[in-house]
């Protein structure tokens, strides 16, 4: 499909793709902000949640944080490669990032399986309800991000639409950012 002229104009001094990603992030800040704000209010108001929260596994959480931080590294290196015009390298680094996403999801599945087996299900109590929903919505964003990344990588391999590497990277860094705050909330400052 031919791109309309509208898409390549940049009267605001920024490419339309990047501008739209920043607006997307503005809306995501409010979504996660609402959810995490509600969680924080409950956590502070319900001191008995400390005992429930003590059962989250900090090592799984730390491992996942390492995975996500590293995948952000490969995402920004992909952007760097795309800027150099090296589509093949960018694609490879994006595939590594997707690998990180998959790793994150695998670790999470194992973690959740263990927790569910111990009886910490989503209906066990309100802490666990928030835990699963917050991490779950974040995980949903990981999945969507990985799928978009695959699509962008497929095009980048052929040196097409290289500007999208930065766009998907910025989205991915945001997903990482949310986790950077979820991690202490759910695993450290329990």
Partner 1 sequence: MAAHKQNFFMKYLWSTDHKIIAMQYLFTGMFMALVGGFLAYAFRMQLAFPGTDIPLFGVVSPGEYNALVTNHGTIMIFWVAMPVLVAALGNYLIPLMVGCDDMVFPRLNRLSYQVFLVSAIIILASFFVPGGAFGGAWTAYPPLSTTAEFSLTPFGSPLWVLAVALEFVAFLMGGINFITTAMNSRAPGMKMFDVPIVVWFIVLASILFMGSVGPLIAGAIMLLFDQLVGTGYFNPGVGGDPILYQHLFWFFGHPEVYVVLLPALGIVAEVITVFSRKKLFAYKIVLYTAIATGVLSFFVWAHHQFVAGIDPRMANVFTVTTVLISIPIAEMLFVYIATLYGGSIRLTTPMLWALAFLAEFLLGGVTGIFLGASGADVYFHDTYFVLAHFHYTFFPIAIISVFAAVTFWFPKMFGRLMNETLGKVHFWITVVCFNGIFLPLFLLGTWGQHRRIYNYEHFPELAGQDMQQLRVFATMCLVVMLCAQAIFLFNFFWSMFKGKKAGKNPWKANTLEWTVPSPPPHGNFAKLPVCYRGPYEYSHPDREEDYWPQDEPASETT
Partner 2 sequence: MSEQATSHAGHGTDGHDSDGHDHAHGPEHYVKIWLLLLALLALSVAGPFLEIQVITLLTAFGIAVVKASLVVKYFMHLDVQPKYVMYFLATSLAFMVLFFFGIAPDVLHHEGQNWVNMAAEEEIVRAFTARRDAIDTAVRTGVDEHGHEVDEDHERELIAERDDITERLVEMGVAGAGEVSFDAATTFATTCGPCHGEGGAGDGAAAAALDPHPANFTDPAFWNDPEVTRDHEHIVTTIRDGGAAVGRSPLMAAFGAQFDEEQLEAMALFVEGLNPNAE
Question: Binding segment for partner 1 among 29-37, 104-112, 162-170, 178-186 (CB under 8 A)?
Answer: 29-37
Among positions 113-152, residues that touch partner 1 (CB under 8 A) are 122-123, 125-126, 129-130, 133, 137
Question: Binding segment for partner 2 among 1-9, 100-108, 128-136, 146-154 (CB under 8 A)?
Answer: 1-9
Q: How far is the CB of 150 from partner 2 (least distance, A)?
A: 18
> Of these, 46, 88, 118, 160, which contacts partner 1 (CB under 8 A)?
46
Q: Counting contacts by CB under 8 A, is residue 44 touching partner 1?
A: no
d(Cα 14, Cα 119) in Å, to the nearest integer? 50
Q: Counting contacts by CB under 8 A, is residue 20 touching partner 1?
A: yes
Query: Burial, 123: exposed, middle or buried (Cβ in 10 Å; 0-12, 13-18, 19+)?
Result: exposed
CA distances from 178 to 32, 119, 124, 137 (A): 8, 27, 25, 11
When the beta carbons of 31 and 143 are compared against partner 1, the nearer one is 31
Crossing angle of helices 126-157 and 163-183, rounded to 10°: 160
CA 50 to chain centre: 26
């Amino acid at each position: 499909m031919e791109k309309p002229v509208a898409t390549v104009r940049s009267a605001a001094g920024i490419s339309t793709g990047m501008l739209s990603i920043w607006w997307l992030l503005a809306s995501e800040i409010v979504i996660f902000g609402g959810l995490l704000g509600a969680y924080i209010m409950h956590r502070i108001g319900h001191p008995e949640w400390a005992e429930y929260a003590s059962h989250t596994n900090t090592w799984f959480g730390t491992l996942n944080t390492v995975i996500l931080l590293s995948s952000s590294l490969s995402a920004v290196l992909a952007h760097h490669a795309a800027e150099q015009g090296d589509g093949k390298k960018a694609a490879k680094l994006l595939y590594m990032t997707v690998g990180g996403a998959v790793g994150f999801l695998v670790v999470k599945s194992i973690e959740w399986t263990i927790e569910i087996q111990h009886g910490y299900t989503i209906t066990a109590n309100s802490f666990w309800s928030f835990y699963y929903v917050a991490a779950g919505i974040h995980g949903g964003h990981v999945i969507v991000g990985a799928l978009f990344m695959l699509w962008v990588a497929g095009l980048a391999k052929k040196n097409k639409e290289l500007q999208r590497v930065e766009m998907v990277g910025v989205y991915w860094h945001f997903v990482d950012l949310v986790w950077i705050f979820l991690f202490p909330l759910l695993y450290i400052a329990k």
